Chains A and B, each alone.
Chain A
Amino acid sequence: MKHRYFLLFVVLCLFFSINLNAQVVDKFLQNSHISGDFEFDGMYYNKDSLIGAPDVPQKALMNSFVNVNYTNGPFAAGFRFENYLYGLEGYDPRYKGVGVPYKYISFEKDKFTVTVGNSYDQFGSGLIYRSWQDFSLGYDNSLNGLNVKFRPWKGITLKGIWGLQRFYFALSPGVIRGGDAEFSINDIFTKLNNKNLRVTVGGSFVSKYQDASDPVYTLPKNVCSYAGRASISYKNFSINGEYAHKINDPSAINNRIYKPGEATLIQATYAKKGMGFYLAAIRTDNMSYKTDRDASGSDLNINYIPAITKQTTYSLPAMYPYATQPNGEFGVQAQTIFSFKRKSALGGKYGTFFSITYSQYNNIDKQKINDVTPIDSTGTLGYKSDFFKIGKEVNYQNFNIEFSKKFTHTFKMILSYFYINYNTKVIEGHDLPNIYSHTGVADLTFNINDKNSIRTELQYMYTTQGDGSWAYAMVEYTIAPKWFFSLSDQYNYGNPVTAKQIHYFGVATAYAIGSTRISLNYGRQRAGIFCVGGVCRFVPAANGLTLTLTSSF
């Protein structure tokens, strides 16, 4: 061991003592760029059994990471160092300890981009392959291996991937191999460069391999999937779609049925200055795709099925979000946003904005494969499903209308209404009735002067199911661009259990300078997406003092 360190020392000394041409060194350094980002999330926990915040034996927990990227012309390398000592409540306990789970080297040469190590990528809309990472969600399925991009001709992009997935601080049991090709027709043929009609087509193929030795069933060791897509745009109109197919893949998620899977996603948009319409539909059928057939939850996903519902960051309507049902669902979303111009009758001095969004998810139609086999029976084809027949069960409904207007130089208002129908049984798996909620939000900003402003958020949610009705009030004071202070209370006054009619008080302050931001929060937090002091993040249920530090360099 000692010899090895000594050798390393000698090599380093040699490296630094080599008499290099000063100009070469200067040029090398001038082209060298180091950048990175850092985050620290630490929390001191108070026991609070009333809100379901557990007694944390360590008292304080933390998650943190540093990302470092080095680039020099066509060459790049980097790594992410992660700490979970111990990981914050609400994160998977397998995030424990320290490590460097992300590291890569990449270079561009002769129309090739080669990345060795960890990479993130997405084929088309991700229906058969997406590797991505979100630290605040505790999600990372980066591919550890090889990622090659090749652009032989303008408008043609070919991609190849081969590797294992990150699985907390370990690697996936199965290996992924895949390729993707995309052709932008207008870029390939110079004649079509400036045409109004633009067409892009693409296709991808992914295969996973996992060993199998089941005493009863013959399990497929190689499971392949393929997808085709097209997007067409003409002036203000655009439409794109993708269809994906996966061969039989019995897994813990689908109760080990041998039915193939498929997914279809279609999106259409019409938009011009001052208005936009958007329509989307998604149908998925048995499309869970993982590198471990025994994995559960969101572990080891190879693909990504988006939930096309309105995402809101107002805390009360965000209480009941939709979660993708990998075994099958049919969803639609329609949205329109429009504005009345400045100085028109309805627009006033600064213009007026409206947005209306509706989304709904149903299950898919499922019929028995024969008279004697129940639906989803292990070792069978599971069920039959008619593509055009929508299931009767409503999983989720969300209607939102939002009005926003700047009245004067000093006063701005956003009014928003949400209707949510949340199928607890489907989304959470609890045998409880649906939750029907109506929420009103008033978001008011008063500018005292150029630098000082007060913003207040008033929210009221009415429901007779679940935890009952809630009220929320928040006031924040900001001194731009550095200081921020806020006080908030979320009150579950309508909880059917009197002892659970709880106040969730919160106090927060933040200081931002350049790309560094430090914030302190004290109080009770209910699980959900929270937006505080100008940024948004996911926070699990807890009571205590949180310190967050983020920085980029």
Chain B
Amino acid sequence: MKTIFLSISLFFLSLSLLFAQENNQANGVLGLKKIPSVELKTLDGKTINTADISNNGKPIIISFWATWCKPCVNELTTIADVYPDWQKETGVKLIAVSIDDMKTSGNVKTTVNGKNWDYEVLLDVNSEFKRAMNVNLVPHTFVINGNGEIVWQHTSFSQGSELTLIDIVRKVAKGEKVN
């Protein structure tokens, strides 16, 4: 009984935090969330801390994906076609975080090179960064502003979603408010 009571109160507490958070963000009481600190490996075996991710004050896209996730591969392939234009226009950098575990993480390097992607790729083999960023399903995409704050996120991909994404990036690059 006590456990149920405790659980239910925690549930409501978390929901109220959810809404409190939104209100507070609008009022600027709580700061915007920054990229949490998790240590991940790059494709050439270097270790980096995600809290150190930066792009000289320009926007960053963080896209969670997996080799076995068709919509994810579709999203990154679609963006790859226009990525040089996006970079030129907004200075944006895309970081593709693979959540493949040991079953398929070996296929990440072949996929990225074989598909000619020019993204920075990080390996999140035990979903640590995924959890810290509160990602449920892939693909899940974040836009980070020049101050390293998470200003926009979206889950799922369908053809044409990349246009919404670049619109957000343009606004962020100009320092405009998103939503």
Contact = CB atoms under 8 A, between A and B. Distances in A.
B106 A308 contact: yes
B107 A335 contact: yes
B7 A34 contact: no
A535 B157 CA distance: 8
A37 B104 contact: no
Contacts of B46: 184, 187, 198
A192 B61 CA distance: 31
B30 interface: yes
Given A66-B11, A339-B114, A278 B107 contact: yes
A537 interface: yes
Interface string B12-40: 00110110111010000111111011010
B45 A37 contact: no
A37 B159 contact: no
Given A269-B109, A271-B113, A81 B11 contact: yes
B90 interface: no
A523 to B, nearest CB: 20
Interface in A9-39: 29-39
B22 A553 contact: yes
Given A280-B106, A306-B101, A350-B81, A550 B7 contact: no
A108 B115 contact: no
B111 A337 contact: yes
B160 A452 contact: yes
Interface string A422-462: 00000000000000000000010101001111010000000
B113 A447 contact: no
Contacts of A57: none
Contacts of A215: none
A495 interface: no
Contacts of B153: 514-515, 552
A67 B24 CA distance: 19
Interface stretch (A42-50, A119-127, A173-181, A378-386): A119-127
Contacts of A550: 136-137, 155
Given A81-B7, A351-B116, A34 B154 contact: no
A510 to B, nearest CB: 7
B134 A67 contact: yes
Contacts, number: 254
A306 B102 contact: yes
A233 B101 contact: no
A341 B114 CA distance: 11
B47 A184 contact: yes
A243 interface: no
B88 to A, nearest CB: 17
B71 interface: yes
Interface string A315-347: 000000000000000000101111101000000
Interface size class of B (residues with CB under 8 A): 35 or more
A311 B103 contact: yes
B105 to A, nearest CB: 9
A97 B163 CA distance: 43
Contacts of A200: 45
B68 interface: yes
A477 B175 CA distance: 35
A478 interface: yes
Contacts of B6: 100
B140 interface: yes
Q: Pick the 6 closest A-B CB pairs, nearest first.
A: A337-B114, A480-B160, A276-B110, A534-B156, A478-B158, A306-B102
21 contacts: A32-B30, A33-B31, A120-B126, A120-B127, A120-B131, A126-B126, A184-B46, A231-B45, A271-B109, A271-B113, A274-B116, A306-B102, A337-B110, A478-B159, A480-B163, A480-B164, A481-B160, A517-B155, A533-B158, A536-B137, A552-B136
Interface of A: 29-39, 66-69, 71, 76, 79, 81, 83, 97-100, 108, 120-122, 125-126, 130, 132-133, 135, 157, 184, 187, 198, 200, 231, 233, 238, 265, 267, 269, 271-278, 280, 304, 306-309, 311-313, 333, 335-339, 341, 350-351, 353, 355, 357, 406, 443, 445, 447, 450-453, 455, 478-481, 484, 510, 512, 514-517, 531, 533-537, 550-553
